[in-house]
A = this chain, B = another copy of it.
Amino acid sequence: MALRYALMAALHEAPATGYELTQRFRSRLANVWNASHQQVYRELARLLEDNKLLVETVAQSDKPDKKRYHLTIAGRKDLEEWLNTPQPRPPVRDPLLVKLFAGDLLDSDVLKEDIEKLKQDWLAQLGYFRSIEHTYFRQPSALSRQYRLQYMALRRGITQITAGLEWLEELETTLEELDDAP
């Protein structure tokens, strides 16, 4: 159910095509919501069917036409209702922690590779989030309520990754200790 509203929230910010929405999920919304392009197109079709959206076909000279979706009044109302009703918190399902849990069957070198990979991913993501913070949210106190709340969504991503990186350090230290005194 929530994908619908993630899409509507993104379209409420600004009308967009399925392609652009997919990109937003992968970039600015990476710490908020995730969806593949297949999911996006399918759900957009349903939202359109339910009259929550309108399409505007944008002709392009060289590239194929694209469909820009807009929230309708009904869509906005629907979104507003959802926003103001309690939502569950996300379920936790982390393969890396499953691995650690069965740590006695886990090879140390494989684990170290996993850690290194994850660290690189997180650092890249953190760099990206910080660049957004720097360019759009320099003095938060000057921002409108809307943007301050968006900023807090971004802050969540930054603090989460920062805590994740600290934990990775802790994990690496543990592995070194285990290597030294086996």
Interface of A with B (CB < 8 Å)? 2, 5-6, 8-10, 12-13, 29-34, 76, 79-80, 83-107, 110, 113-114, 117-118, 121, 140-141, 145-146, 148-150, 152-153, 155-156, 159-160, 162-164, 166-167, 170-171, 174, 177-178, 182
Contact = CB atoms under 8 A, between A and B. Distances in A.
A97 B178 contact: no
Contact of A114 (B86, B100, B171): B86
A25 B163 CA distance: 23
A105 to B, nearest CB: 5
Contact of A84 (B107, B117, B145): B107
Given A92-B32, A92-B33, A152 B106 contact: no
A148 B176 CA distance: 12
A99 B87 contact: yes
Given A95-B87, A166-B159, A149 B103 contact: yes
Contact of A92 (B5, B34, B152): B34
Contacts of A33: 92-94, 97-98
16 contacts: A2-B93, A30-B92, A31-B92, A32-B94, A33-B92, A34-B91, A83-B99, A83-B102, A84-B107, A94-B156, A103-B150, A104-B149, A106-B149, A152-B170, A162-B163, A163-B163
Given A94-B32, A98-B2, A106 B83 contact: yes
Contacts of A76: 105
